[in-house]
Structure formats: structure tokens, C-alpha cells
Amino acid sequence: MTLRIGNASGFYGDRFDALREMLTGGELDVLTGDYLAELTMLILGRDRMKDPAAGYARTFLRQLEEGLGLAHERGVKIVTNAGGLNPAGLADAVRQLADRLGIPVRVAHVEGDDLLARHPGALAAHAYLGGFGIARCLREGADVVVTGRVTDAALVTGPAAAHFGWTPDDHDRLAGAVAAGHILECGTQATGGNYAFFHKRDRAHDLRRPGFPLAELHADGSCVITKHPGTGGFVDVGTVTAQLLYETGGARYAGPDVTARLDTVRLTQDGPDRVRVEGVTGEAPPPTLKVGLNRFGGFRNEVVFVLTGLDIEAKAALVREQMADAFAKSPPAEVRWDLVRTDRPDADTEETASALLRLVVRDQDQTSVGRALSGAAIELALASYPGFHVVAPPGKGAPYGVFEAAYVPQDAVEHLAVLHDGRRVAVPAAPDTLVLDEVPEPALPEPSPPDAATRRAPLGLVAGARSGDKGGNANIGVWVETDEAWRWLAHTLTVERLRELLPETAGLRVVRHVLPNLRALNFVVEGILGAGVAAQHRFDPQAKALGEWLRSRHLDIPEVLL
């Protein structure tokens, strides 16, 4: 029996109409919505500080205004982590909405992830729970299940375990569902969104509005990734590979239910817009649960100076010296300058003749990054380099957050399924666990012939990439489409070569993981994002474009691949 699970949200702020589109576009058994990211938990934490009854994704409630009746008519279960920091509050709000609309639905929720009491001083502290709380709610008859912080894949493992009767020791089956959940979790990234080779698709694959993905799951844990007929975008081995690599590390993809071995995943094209995912091996989960901690980091401000025409370096040096003098009495704790050379010689527009000099300051004292910066920068308006102006005047300084991960024993967290009838049922921790260990690097294919003719060209002509963030680390997944290209990539793109191509990784620990089944390499760059996305350590604070920077770098590529 096939279980059809779709996704209608990849983040808080995703396409509003997606929930209705998924309910009306084709057959579904379960519709999920992923609203939580590291940054989202910080945003919801701030909401809760202003209003203790807040802390959940209000967008989801507005989507249900028109979607709840459709789901009830079609018999589609809804499972979402939109509960955020207050799943009980959202569950009550859904019940009130259902009563107002006259729709008889049974609403349950999952709680126990909130560990704020154990971490004083944090804005939010939440353990990543697994899917068996969701499964218990569904087995007891819930139509809508609301959770707080669960793993993204739990939105799929929970319904799958409930439907197929899986138990915690069904590791291979659960691992298959984890793979499916990870592919679905970011919505249209599996159907052509943010895809490295987007420009190679023909007009028939309209990327203006990609459809959201769904998985046809089977009892053995295998699945087919597809989308509703007639929707935009496309599903192929490449789009699925890219999403499998997104925000992952090594061959072991650990979660509270199971550790999925990404090095065992097999992908095959199963027809137009259909990719079969099978062969996923599972291992017992680790004995600990990850806890995401969001803390107040301090205050941050920035100003971007525009430098136009000649003498860019000298202009930058002058304003840096002037600002250093202004900060001399009370310097901010952190001062960072970046000169971005967007200018070009003999430019035919003023904008393309200009470079950007970005100043970012941080401090625990808002005054040091607010009035001090604003006054110092604006007072230079008539007293600095020729052509002085800024992109926007600096503000008062805004608070920023810091994300960090902690770990607690699985049995130290009270995972609870709060059923539609009010019963509170404890969900036991995984009975078997396994401490994570690095997977030895697998054997590489035979290298390309050493005497093959090469041409200097961008890596992206032969390789796709997708990158993302995990706390202060970034990952870059790189894959190729043919065995011949894999022979070359596996031996060429070493850690040393990556450091040469991306000099910003200098001094940082970089770990390479080899995934031959996917013809892919996954690099984890530790610490490149500082204290995480909310700290905005880099101008690309979530490393979304790090992979595209890598693809743009030139190296010697065998002509046969080009």
C-alpha cells in the first residue's frame, strides 16, 4: 500500500497558496508543513517575549482558513511543526478555527522539546524530537497534528510509522522515510528551485512557479519523489541529489529515530518527474538528542560606503582611518571592514563604476554601535573622499542572536503525545542507540587518464552544487552527472584544492565526505558562519551561495567532459 505524503512549506514565509494548491492538485494522504529553521526559533522567541500566548507560525492558521475544509473533504491528514515554541497554543487555535468554520476535526499536538528551564539566559532551547509522537497522535485518530521542534524528517517518519505499523527497530524502513523527509522538507528545492543546472531545462519545464513535492512511500521504506500533474518545475535525479546533499554532513545522517546512511541511497529516474529512492540503510540513532539554543548576542549595526571611479583603494583607506579616529574613545567590541570591488574601469553607468565598502560593528552596548556609528559616519559627509555617499544611513543598532548546539541523553527529554481527547501519552526514547563514528572513506574510482587534454574553465560547467548552514558551519555538496565526470571530480576536488578555490576557508577546518552512489562530495567548513545565521557573520549568513561561488572558480578540466 502506498502512502502519499506532500509538503506545502519549506520555511516560515514560503508560498502562501501552497497548502491549497497541494490539497486541490492531486491525490494525497498526508500534507506536511515545515516552518522552523534556526533563525525562525529566534524570531518566535522574540514574539513570545512580547506575548506569552505567541510563539507559533501564525501564517499556518491563515492558510488553514481555506485549507482545513478541503483537507477534511479529501481525508488528508495535516502534520506540521508550525507550533514552534507553543504547540499547545497553536493546537487550541486550530480547534477554535475548526469550531468557527463548523469543520469536525480532531487536533493533537506533540510537546516536550522545550528545555528553556534548563538553559537560563537563552531565548529558546529546544530538543529535536523524532516522529513517534506524531505517529501516536495519528494512530489515535488525529486529523491535524501540531508539533514544536522536531527534526524536519520527523514530519514524514511519523506518518509513515503510523501508516505502516513500523516500530523503533525498523531501522532500514525508517531510514528510507528520513531520506524522503529530507528531500521534501525544503519544498520546491526538490522540484527545480535553486537548482544549479536550472538554465539547461527546456521551456516545457516552467520554473517560474515550481510545484511542491510529494513522496509515494512504500512499506519497505522506499519511495518515489514526484509532484502533482501540471505543476511547474521538474523532478529528476539531479534535483533530488541536490536536496539530499543540502545541509548534511557525512555519510551518517543522524536523527532521534534512526541514523540514515546517505552513502547507501540509490536514485533512478522512474519516468517524467519521478525519481525512485531506495536501498537506504539505517542504523540505531545516537544516544543523545540535539538541542538548539538561541541566545542574545548583543547589538549590531552597519553602514555601506559607496566609492566611485578612480583611487578606490585610497578612498577606502581614508574613510577607514577617519572612522578609526572617531571610534578611538569608545571602540565597539568588534569592527569588520569588507571592500567589495563591484566597480569596473571606464564604466558606462555610475553604479558599475562604484565599489562598496561595508563596515559592521558589534557590541553588548547598543550605544556603541548606534549613536557612535551614526554620528561618526554622517559627520564625514563633507569631510572625506570625493563622491562620498552611503547606501543608507545607519540606524540605532539592532539586537542579534547566537545559535549553538548542545546535546542531552535521549531519555532526559519528556517526549509527549497530547491526543485529541486530552490524554497525555509518554513516547519512550529509542530502545537501541549507537554512538556515531566517522565512516571510512570508500574506495575511489580509477582516476582520469593523466595525459588527457584539459581546458581552463569554471567547475560549474561539469558539476552542480548546493550549500547551506548548520549553526556556525557550512556544507557544500558537489555532484556530477556521469561516471566519467565522477572519476575526475573524486580525485581533483580535494580539501587542499577546495581551499585554493575558496580562500575564505583558510584557517578553518574542512572535512570531505565521499558519497559514490550519488557521485558526490560533501564538504563541511567549520566556523565559517561564526555564531550562526542570526549573527550575520558573513554577507551570505546562511552560506546559500557558497556552492555557486565554488562553481564559478576556474580549474583545469578534461576537455572530454566539456
Q: pLDDT of 260-307, one tens digit each?
A: 999 999 999 999 999 999 999 999 999 999 999 998 889 999 999 999
Same domain, 459 and 525: yes
Asked if the model's pLDDT at residue 204 lies above 60, the reply is no
330 compared with 173, residue with greater pLDDT: 173
* 545 domain-assigned: yes
Strand segments (E) across 37-143: 77-80, 107-111, 122-127
Q: CA 396 to CA 292: how far, in whole Å? A: 29
Contact 385, 320 (CB under 8 A): no
- Are 418 and 522 in the same domain? no
Same domain, 196 and 272: yes
Note whether residue 219 is domain-resident.
Answer: yes
pTM of the model: 0.93
| Owning domain of residue 488 | 454-561
Has residue 360 been placed in a domain? Answer: no
Q: Does the pLDDT of residue 203 top 60, yes or no?
A: no
Residue 535 scores a pLDDT above 80: no
Task: Report if residue 175 sits inside a domain.
Answer: yes
What is the DSSP code (8-state) at residue 370? T
pLDDT in tens, 347-356: 999 999 999 9
The grid coordinates of residue 166 equal: 513500523
Amino acid, res. 187? G
Tell me: pLDDT of 534 over 80: no
Say if residue 415 is in the same domain as residue 514.
no
Please enumerate in sequence order all residues whose Cβ is within 8 A of that of 443, keeping only pairs 6 or more positions apart, or say none: none
Residue 7 lies in a domain: yes
Residues 405, 535 contacting (CB under 8 angstroms): no
Highest mean pLDDT among 15-29, 34-48, 204-218: 15-29
* For residue 135, pLDDT beyond 80: yes
pLDDT per position as a tens digit, 79-134: 999 999 999 999 999 999 999 999 999 999 999 999 999 998 898 999 999 999 99
Least confident of 30-34, 119-123, 241-245: 119-123
- What is the model's pLDDT at position 370? 84
Dihedral angle sign, alpha carbons of residues 162, 165, 166, 168: positive
Give domain status of residue 313, yes or no: no
Strand 3-7 relative to strand 30-33, pairing: parallel
C-alpha cell at 258: 534512526
- The DSSP call for residue 78 is E
One domain for residues 144 and 270? yes
Q: How many CB atoms lie within 10 A of CB 53?
A: 11
Same domain assignment for residues 147 and 243? yes
CA atoms of 155 and 135, how far apart (whole Å): 9
Task: Note whether 481 and 412 are same-domain residues.
Answer: no
Is residue 58 domain-shared with residue 124, that is, in the same domain? yes
Burial (CB < 10 A; 0-12, 13-18, 19+), residue 245, is buried
Mean pLDDT of the chain: 94
Model confidence band, residue 199 (pLDDT cutoffs 50, 70, 90): confident
Quickly state the pLDDT bin for 43 (edges 50, 70, 90). confident
Number of domains within the chain = 2
My answer on whether 415 and 461 are in the same domain is no
Q: Are residues 410 and 478 in the same domain?
A: no
Is residue 336 situated within a structural domain? no
Identify whether 153 is part of a domain: yes
What band does 373 get if pLDDT is binned at 50, 70 and 90? confident
- Predicted local distance difference test score (pLDDT) of residue 368: 84
Q: How far apart are CA 7 and CA 121, in angstroms?
A: 35
Structure confidence at residue 470 as a pLDDT band (50, 70, 90): confident
Q: What is the pLDDT of residue 205?
A: 67
Q: Is residue 285 located within the same domain as residue 198?
A: yes
pLDDT tens, position by position, 396-454 = 888 888 888 999 999 999 999 999 999 999 999 999 999 988 888 899 999 988 888 99
For 332-351, what is each residue's pLDDT tens digit?
A: 999 999 999 999 999 999 99
Q: Longest Cα pair distance anywhere in the chain, in angstroms?
A: 75
| Residue 85 sits in the same domain as residue 168 | yes
